Amino acid sequence: MELQDKRVLLTGASGGIGKEIAKALEAKGAKLLLVARNGNKLEALKNSLEFPHQHEVVAADLSTDEGLEKVKQTCLNLSHKEQRIDVLINNAGSNQFSFLAQRSSPSIELEMRLNLLVPMLLSQSALSWISRPGIILNVGSTFGSIGFPGYTTYCAAKSGLQRFSEALDRELDGSGIRTLYLAPRATDTTLNDRFVNQMNQQLGNKSDSPEVVAGHVVDILEKEQASRWIGWPEKLFARVNQILPGVVSKSIRKQQDIIHHFINQVHGK
């Protein structure tokens, strides 16, 4: 899709990756509807962009029915004004690096909701207000393809998001709406606390800047590529894990002491 003058709804816009996506899309001439809970941060982001008057913000907690309804009504109003959203980017997400045994039920439910159910419900909502041609882009994670200790819930949610994206893209084949999936690897944002960063360093896991991820977002939208995994060797491991999961289990077993050490650090903080 050519992004010039396209209207893009971006969730998680004020986060580390979201801000860079907003800048990269503006540079391509897109008009943005920026969504997150904290309205002040959204206004600050909007005012930091080159053409603030072209963009709008919606402060909404997407984990609530009210938040989802607020976004839906905003998008329906735009479509009544002939200003339909052309692209929905489901980027809002969160995680907790923790043993499953230590998690509360509400925290598991919230993580599943924000990373999986919210993108599903927003995608469903989008069917009533998105343009044709239109694109839904779901931001997943390498952990959607590789089960990793300490991230059981997050892995389950992002894995579900990948399969949801694939199924919806096939379901809507020929309708003019594409559903794409992008899986970043570790990225330098505050989503990862210092223990996760230290663990990644010790394990030799590479981390990307949010600008790199934003560049991939623009590229996958322009090429309308169904799915993409960012980073080498992560994209290879994602495939090996599908065919030979035992090989990946063996390699993670060797890292277990380091991983458990850092999960325990998080629990002790």
Ligand X SMILES: NC(=O)c1ccc[n+]([C@@H]2O[C@H](COP(=O)([O-])OP(=O)(O)OC[C@H]3O[C@@H](n4cnc5c(N)ncnc54)[C@H](OP(=O)(O)O)[C@@H]3O)[C@@H](O)[C@H]2O)c1
Q: Contact at 8 Å (CB) between 228 and 220?
A: yes
Query: 172: helix, coil or strand?
Result: coil
- CA 153 to CA 156: how far, in whole Å? 5
CB nearer to ligand X: give 116 or 168.
116
CB nearer to ligand X: give 24 or 131.
24
The first and second tokens of residue 163, run together, are 């399969």
Total Cβ atoms within 10 A of residue 82: 6
**Residue 62 lies near ligand X (rule: CB under 6 A):** yes
- Stretch (H or E) spanning 180: strand 177-183
Residues 226-255 binding ligand X (CB under 6 A) are none
CB nearer to ligand X: give 47 or 175.
47
**Residue 131 lies near ligand X (rule: CB under 6 A):** no
C-alpha 203, offset from chain centre = 24
Instruction: Using CB under 6 A, pick the residue from 30, 32, 85, 114 that binds ligand X.
Output: 114
- CA 119 to CA 122: how far, in whole Å? 5
CB nearer to ligand X: give 84 or 113.
113
Q: CB under 6 A: which stretch of 77-85, 90-98, 246-254, 260-268 binds ligand X?
A: 90-98
**Residue 18 lies near ligand X (rule: CB under 6 A):** yes
**Measured between alpha carbons, how far is residue 218 from residues 8, 68, 89, 169 in Å?**
12, 25, 11, 19
Q: CB under 6 A: which stretch of 30-38, 49-57, 73-81, 169-177 binds ligand X?
A: 30-38
**Residue 152 lies near ligand X (rule: CB under 6 A):** no
Ordered alpha helix ranges (H), 87-229:
105-112, 118-126, 152-171, 194-203, 210-223
- CA 32 to CA 240: how far, in whole Å? 38
Nearest position to ligand X, beta carbon: 15
- CA 113 to CA 120: how far, in whole Å? 9
**Residue 40 lies near ligand X (rule: CB under 6 A):** no
* Shortest distance in whole angstroms from residue 168 CB to ligand X: 17
**Residue 94 lies near ligand X (rule: CB under 6 A):** yes
- CA 99 to CA 268: how far, in whole Å? 12
* Shortest distance in whole angstroms from residue 118 CB to ligand X: 7
Q: CB under 6 A: which stretch of 60-68, 71-79, 123-131, 249-257 binds ligand X?
A: 60-68
Q: Which residues bind ligand X (CB under 6 A)?
A: 11-18, 36-38, 41, 61-63, 91-94, 114, 139, 141, 184, 186-187, 189-192
